[in-house]
Amino acid sequence: MLSCTAFLLLMVMGGLGQTTGVQAEPGDQELLWGSDQYDFAIVLPASGMECFWHFAHHGEHFYLTFMVQWVTGVANARHLSVTVNSPAGYLVTTVDDATGQINFQTEETGYYQMCLNNFHNRFGSMQVFLNFGVYYSDADEAQKQKQKKKKEEASKHLNDTLSTIEDSAIKLQGYAFHMWRHYNFARMRKGADYYLLLSNSSYVTYWSAVQSIVIIAAGYLQLFFLKRLFNAKTNTETNKPRC
């Protein structure tokens, strides 16, 4: 009797411990939710990798834009390897470049993994600007027709002006969103140009200082050796010239 009671208790506890829904095991990686958009910069160390997880529903549009802003170290390669994996772990797409844009329609519901790998640059770090998120596109034509029929049946005597204003507002919102995406990409490029300008300015300053020191040192050495050529010794009773 006691063994049966213990068995039933274990079964109940096991049932309470089970969970349903989308399961993700990101470990210490960062989870990002919903249809929000994110834009920020991260620094990848030499041969380092950073991964992010973003939740998306089936049928949404997923986008990722990245740009390498500055690179340090020896043999500084600006190429960055970016991979996007589906919630099931399958590779969706990969890009290996200093700048890239990834767009696709999600076919699964769950966490999509984005991994940034700096294996090209083994002796230096790099700063990468990211802009990613998901958004809903316009509804399917069939769904539009159904909604349109329902609206016509429910409001035959209403003015079509409200419907026109609503459609225009939705289109305007979509256009504004895509303009915001292009603005973020332009801001990435402007940041990369700014860091490149700082790097070139430091390079020119340091090399100008080194060349100035070399020129001054060379002039001093020339003057020193020329003075040695005309250095005549005075004759004294103890110090007389010899043949």
**Which DSSP string do the residues of 54-109 spell out, in sequence order?**
EEE-TT-EEEEEEEEEEE-STT----EEEEEE-TTS-EEEEEEESEEEEEEE--S-
Which of 25, 9, 29 is CA-nearest to residue 17? 9
The DSSP output letter for 28 is: T
Measured on CA atoms in the order 136, 137, 141, 145, is the torsion positive or negative?
Answer: positive
How many Å apart are CA 56 and CA 32, to the nearest integer?
10
CB contact set of 48 (below 8 Å; sequence gap of 6+): 117, 118, 125
How many Å apart are CA 79 and CA 73, to the nearest integer?
14
Domains of the chain: 26-197 (2.60.120.380)
Give counts: helices (H), strands (E), the chain: 3, 9
Looking only at the bridges linking them, the beta strands covering 126-135 and 61-71 are antiparallel
Q: Are 152 and 70 in contact (CB under 8 A)?
A: no
Question: The whole model's pTM is what?
Answer: 0.53
What is the chain's pLDDT, residue by residue, as a tens digit (243 residues)?
A: 434 444 333 343 343 333 333 344 444 444 554 457 888 899 999 889 999 999 988 888 899 999 898 888 775 778 899 999 999 999 999 999 989 999 998 988 899 999 999 988 888 889 999 999 888 765 444 455 566 666 666 666 566 666 677 777 888 887 787 788 787 877 777 777 778 888 888 888 889 999 999 999 988 888 888 877 776 666 666 666 565
